[in-house]
């Protein structure tokens, strides 16, 4: 399913026409003979446009510049230096380039985002294969590094090895080439994806994001009024009104500086300086969303991301972590951790119910309900959790006076990961965000992490 330029596509079609069915496996030959399928029809089916089109490249993001970390951070090679309160950290990453022109596509080199674009797919129903095309724009800051990239869907149980993205066993995408991954997702739940080339480096540098599979049960409003579910539960127990992705990652400043300065870190010295939630650290986690819906992207005339209002330095960190809801609504939090450290996420004052782990509903083999209530979940690297909570009654905006909502804190209770090794967990905070409970008036959510305000 290697994608082709129109010219190459045409030549391949012509080749197929000339070659007849001989290019295909022997099992297909009788069907051609019987006239059931013509080679041209098969080629057209293969050429269906992808559902999403991503690019791998490098880029720059913003992290709180104070206190500095040796000469590693803020990075003196960043495009905004010496303005450190701007883009200041080098990354590798992905961008959603679906629908861009060739010129716009090329312009996205060195404009990677972190975390990688959030996306979701529907469970396979027999005909809805999901196709994700990946290209590689190269690394602007490191033209000497000609690394390929892949898209590996972590925990995906029924992958065809060809589409796995593990580079020794499948195809990887060199600079300037394209490859289309085809998925038939049969297991609903929350997953993560990452580039699997030089994986310690490319994962840590930012080529990581969250993906989830919506169950076939979605749309059934008789089990839960919204018709939205985390799993095919059969009884509405995983139904929800609003959903928020919570993706955990880390930045070791020395490693990011080494990559921008053509140096090699010793990965056994790994020591994360920053712990991130949806690619940002507190209080930036509360800032507005940029363009988050991958199927309806909003971009400028050059195809670049539009920064959240008033926050130009967060242009390449579009995903907000602020949770908004109204009393009695069920809220689904989809956690995934692709940092290298275990996280300990606590929601203070609201009980969470763990309804899924690692894209598996909490049920025993005999159907026993094994979901449980807790205020803290421990998430190891590569693990995911699906958590529901019911928004409590509005108590008059006590959590944040005058704001019109109650505020609850969702944070990593490991001090080093909520303070990012500084002495100031508020202005240099890490994996921390807030749940805002409004008395009412929120619109229905249009896409995950959308506020409805």
Residue 121: phi and psi, rounded to 5, are -135, 160
DSSP reduced 3-state for 11: helix
N- to C-terminal Cα separation, the chain: 42
Tokens of 344: 């300990």
Q: Which CB, 139 or 442, lies closer to Cu ion? A: 139
**Min dist. Cβ of residue 137 to Cu ion (A):** 11
**Min dist. Cβ of residue 54 to Cu ion (A):** 11
| Alpha carbons 45 and 280: distance in angstroms, whole number | 40
- The piece of 94-102, 200-208, 235-243, 338-346 that touches Cu ion (CB under 5 A) is 200-208
Q: Which residue has the tokens 């969250």?
A: 210
Q: Which of 121, 134, 197, 352 binds Cu ion (CB under 5 A)?
A: 197
- The piece of 68-76, 97-105, 146-154, 274-282 that touches Cu ion (CB under 5 A) is 146-154
**Min dist. Cβ of residue 149 to Cu ion (A):** 4
**Min dist. Cβ of residue 173 to Cu ion (A):** 9
Does residue 323 touch Cu ion according to CB under 5 A? no
Q: Which residue has the tokens 């089109």?
A: 53
Q: For residues 406-435, which are near Cu ion according to CB under 5 A?
A: none
DSSP readout, 11-63?
Answer: HHHHHHHHHGGGGS-GGGHHHHHTTSS-HHHHHHHHTPPPSEEEEEEEEEE--
What helix, strand, coil percent values describe the chain, rounded to 5?
A: 15, 30, 55
**56 has which bridge partners?**
94, 136
Q: Residue 134 is inside which H or E element, if any?
A: strand 130-138
Residue 127: phi and psi, rounded to 5, are -140, -5
Instruction: Please give the sequence-ordered ranges of beta strands (E in DSSP) within 287-431, or none if there are none.
Output: 323-325, 330-337, 343-347, 352-357, 360-361, 372-374, 376-379, 384-390, 406-412
* Residues 345-384, mask of contacts with Cu ion (x by CB under 5 A): ----------------------------------------
Does residue 152 touch Cu ion according to CB under 5 A? no
Residues 6+ apart with CB under 8 A from 365: none
Does residue 204 touch Cu ion according to CB under 5 A? no
Q: Which of 152, 202, 242, 432 binds Cu ion (CB under 5 A)?
A: 202
Q: Which CB, 197 or 276, lies closer to Cu ion? A: 197
Tokens of 242: 């609003």
- The piece of 76-84, 105-113, 141-149, 224-232 that touches Cu ion (CB under 5 A) is 141-149
**Min dist. Cβ of residue 73 to Cu ion (A):** 22
**Min dist. Cβ of residue 180 to Cu ion (A):** 17
**Min dist. Cβ of residue 133 to Cu ion (A):** 16
Q: Which of 95, 109, 149, 330 binds Cu ion (CB under 5 A)?
A: 149
Q: Which CB, 202 or 330, lies closer to Cu ion? A: 202
Name the residue number minimizing CB distance to Cu ion: 195
Are 53 and 133 within 8 A, CB to CB?
yes
**Min dist. Cβ of residue 50 to Cu ion (A):** 19
**Min dist. Cβ of residue 112 to Cu ion (A):** 10
- The piece of 20-28, 98-106, 115-123, 205-213 that touches Cu ion (CB under 5 A) is 205-213
Tokens of 310: 């008033």
Q: How many residues bind Cu ion (CB under 5 A)?
A: 5
Q: Residue numbers of the site for Cu ion (CB under 5 A)?
A: 149, 195, 197, 202, 207
């Amino acid at each position: 399913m290697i994608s082709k330029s129109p010219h190459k596509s045409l030549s391949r079609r012509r080749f197929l026409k000339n070659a007849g069915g001989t290019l295909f496996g022997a099992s297909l030959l009788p069907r051609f003979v019987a006239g059931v399928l013509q080679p041209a029809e098969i080629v057209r089916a293969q050429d269906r446009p992808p559902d999403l089109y991503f690019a791998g490249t490098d880029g720059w993001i913003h992290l709180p510049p104070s206190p500095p970390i040796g000469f590693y951070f803020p990075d003196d090679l960043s495009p905004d230096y010496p303005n450190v309160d701007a883009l200041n950290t080098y990354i590798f990453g992905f961008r959603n380039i679906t629908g861009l022109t060739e010129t716009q596509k090329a312009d996205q080199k060195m404009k990677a985002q972190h975390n990688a674009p959030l996306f979701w797919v529907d469970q396979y129903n027999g005909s809805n294969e999901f196709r994700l095309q990946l290209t590689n724009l190269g690394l602007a800051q490191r033209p000497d590094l000609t690394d390929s990239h892949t898209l590996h869907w972590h925990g995906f149980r029924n992958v065809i090895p060809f589409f796995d993205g593990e580079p020794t066993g499948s195809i990887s995408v060199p600079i300037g080439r394209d490859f289309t991954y085809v998925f038939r997702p049969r297991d609903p739940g929350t997953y993560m994806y990452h580039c699997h080339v030089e994986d310690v480096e490319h994962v840590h540098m930012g080529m990581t994001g969250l993906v989830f599979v919506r169950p076939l049960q979605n749309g059934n409003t008789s089990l839960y009024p919204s018709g939205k579910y985390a799993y095919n539960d059969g009884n509405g127990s995983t139904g929800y009104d609003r959903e928020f992705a919570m993706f955990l990652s880390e930045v070791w400043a020395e490693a990011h500086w080494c990559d921008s300065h053509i140096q090699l870190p010793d990965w056994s010295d790994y020591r994360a300086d920053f712990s991130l939630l949806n690619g940002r650290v507190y209080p930036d986690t509360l800032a507005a969303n940029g363009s988050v819906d991958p199927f309806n992207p909003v971009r400028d005339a050059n195809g670049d991301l539009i920064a959240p209002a008033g926050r130009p330095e967060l242009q390449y960190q579009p995903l907000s972590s602020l949770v908004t809801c109204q009393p009695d609504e069920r809220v689904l939090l989809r956690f995934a951790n692709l940092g290298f450290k275990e996280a300990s996420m606590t929601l203070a004052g609201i009980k969470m119910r763990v309804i899924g782990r690692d894209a598996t509903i909490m049920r025993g083999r005999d159907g026993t309900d094994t979901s449980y209530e807790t205020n803290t979940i421990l998430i190891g690297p590569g693990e995911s959790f699906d958590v529901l909570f019911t928004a409590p009654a509005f108590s008059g905006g006590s959590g944040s006076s005058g704001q019109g909502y109650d505020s609850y804190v969702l944070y990593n209770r490991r001090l080093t990961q909520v303070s990012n090794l500084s002495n100031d967990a508020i202005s240099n905070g890490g994996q921390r965000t807030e749940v805002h409970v409004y008395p009412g008036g929120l619109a229905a959510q249009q896409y995950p992490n959308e506020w409805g305000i």
